[in-house]
Amino acid sequence: MTAILIKRHQFTGLSKVYSREPDGLAAILRGLAIDNARLKVEINTVKQFTDNSGGTAGSGLVALTIPLVAIDATSAGGAQVTALDTSLGKIANVGKVMTGTINEASALLGLPASSAVSGSQASADTIPALDTASTSANGATAATFASAVAALRVAKDNLARIANGMNAVFAAVGAAKVSATVLGPHALDLGLLAIPSVLGAGPTAAAKKADVDAFFAAYANNIATLAAKWNAALNAGSPGQGPLHVVAG
């Protein structure tokens, strides 16, 4: 990146005031805002994530496929309701931790706060382990398809909300935003909702274990990706070490 050079005669005419060019007034003001935001974050040492999610970070978010078809799990093939609820609780805990860290930066930058109405935080800035697979079940211990789908949809929307909060910080410090289009139509707010409990006794209309496994594995990878993007944008807690966007010329 080459800094914008502001010379004494930069605004002797009106063209630079209304210009959308890289050396126009809008670009200059945005560059100054980014430089100021980076310094603010660095001075206050906004934390990075310690990622224990168990996922693998990628170049971007991957799709989270909600189960589409119920199965008859009278004999086998369903996802166990108790284990599924436990796994969803871990997802809620991750949301609580990540919104807390995002808010460390948001508060400094004057951005709207993220929130999570459920979940608990054992250690600030430390993402706890997620389950990447469900437990097999059949009969009355199999989760109903409808309740599993409802819970996974909220978890999916909450992931988009985490990305929303991060992207506001990324924009402020001049980092690339994370595209969430792969998640499909998604929430645009910053408030993570409580994930509903899953119901059992759904043997003839149950959630398929393999479908839930795929969702959990992709979810963990997405959390790892978001954590890596955050850590890179915060540049080991020193984003101000990068080059300035605007200097005198």
Lowest mean pLDDT among 1-5, 104-108, 189-193: 1-5
The per-residue pLDDT for 180 is 94
pLDDT above 90 (res 25): no
Q: How confident is the model at residue 28, as a pLDDT?
A: 63
**Residues near 15 by beta carbon (within 8 Å), at least 6 away in sequence:** none
Find all residues with CB under 8 Å of 142, minimum gap 6, and list them. Answer: 73, 78, 79, 80, 81, 200, 201, 202, 203, 206, 207
pLDDT of residue 8 exceeding 70: no
Query: Residue 234 pLDDT more than 90?
Result: no
pLDDT digits (tens, 9 = 90+) for 32-91: 667 666 777 775 678 899 999 999 999 999 999 999 999 999 999 999 999 999 999 999
- CA–CA dist 67, 152 (Å, integer): 9
Contact 135, 79 (CB under 8 A): yes
* Chain segment 153-184, per-residue pLDDT in tens: 999 999 999 999 999 999 988 889 999 999 99
Tell me the percentage of the chain whose pLDDT exceeds 70: 78
- Give the pTM: 0.88
